[in-house]
């Protein structure tokens, strides 16, 4: 009987590890996509602005986008109720929608609200407008995540 339990445990662990890697792969793809969406809305290469120029504004925007996507990924996994295929589809679709929504938010804040995203990123100190935009990215992630759950 204990051998059967060990076999069951082994199968559960193998399936669980496989699911973790699958979700991690889809989540990582979304994080990278989100990073490139932020990159698209900033002047120059975002990674260079973060590493070379040490821009707190570019770093904050990239981090906020990542947190927003993380919320969507986590809630998509949770709302799948243990069904791996459904969870992966939810993460991919809703995560993609969240990334697009974040990109649109940046454009709306830049062009309609008047937040000069490109100008703010060039500043050496953290700008209040970037904090607003970063919080908007997290909020979009949260709203998208709750829409997935609801």
Question: pLDDT per residue over 48-104, tens digit each?
Answer: 989 999 999 999 999 998 999 999 888 888 888 878 898 899 889 988 888 888 888
User: CA 69 to CA 87: how far, in whole Å?
Assistant: 15
Q: How confident is the model at residue 1 (pLDDT cuts 50, 70, 90)?
A: very low
Q: How confident is the model at residue 10 (pLDDT cuts 50, 70, 90)?
A: confident
Query: Cβ distance 61 to 121 under 8 Å?
Result: yes
Cα distances from 33 to residues 62, 82, 96, 98, in angstroms, run 11, 25, 8, 11
Count the residues in the chain: 150
Residue 30 scores a pLDDT above 60: yes
C-alpha dihedral over 84, 86, 92, 93, to 10 degrees? -170
Q: What is the DSSP letter of 111?
A: I
Q: Please give the pLDDT value at position 127.
A: 93
Q: Please give the pLDDT value at position 142.
A: 93
Q: Please give the pLDDT value at position 5.
A: 58
User: CA 67 to CA 52: how far, in whole Å?
Assistant: 23
Q: How confident is the model at residue 2 (pLDDT cuts 50, 70, 90)?
A: low
Contacts of 123 (CB under 8 A, 6+ apart): 55, 57
Q: Say what the pTM is.
A: 0.81
Question: pLDDT per residue over 90-141, tens digit each?
Answer: 889 988 888 888 888 888 888 898 888 888 888 889 999 999 989 998 999 8
Nearest to 105 by CA among 76, 135, 126, 146: 135
User: CA 19 to CA 76: how far, in whole Å?
Assistant: 14
């Amino acid at each position: 009987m204990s051998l059967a339990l060990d076999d069951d445990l082994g199968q559960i662990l193998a399936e669980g590890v496989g699911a973790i890697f699958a979700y991690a792969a889809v989540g990582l793809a979304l994080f990278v996509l989100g990073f490139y969406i932020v990159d698209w809305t900033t002047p120059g290469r975002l990674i260079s602005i973060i590493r070379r120029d040490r821009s707190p504004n570019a770093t904050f925007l990239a981090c906020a986008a990542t947190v927003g996507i993380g919320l969507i990924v986590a809630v998509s996994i949770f709302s799948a109720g243990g069904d791996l295929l459904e969870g992966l589809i939810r993460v991919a679709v809703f995560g993609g929608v969240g990334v697009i929504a974040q990109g649109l938010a940046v454009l709306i804040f830049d062009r309609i609200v008047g937040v000069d995203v490109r100008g703010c990123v060039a500043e050496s100190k953290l700008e209040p407008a970037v904090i607003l935009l970063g919080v908007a990215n997290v909020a979009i992630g949260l709203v998208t995540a709750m829409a997935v759950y609801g």
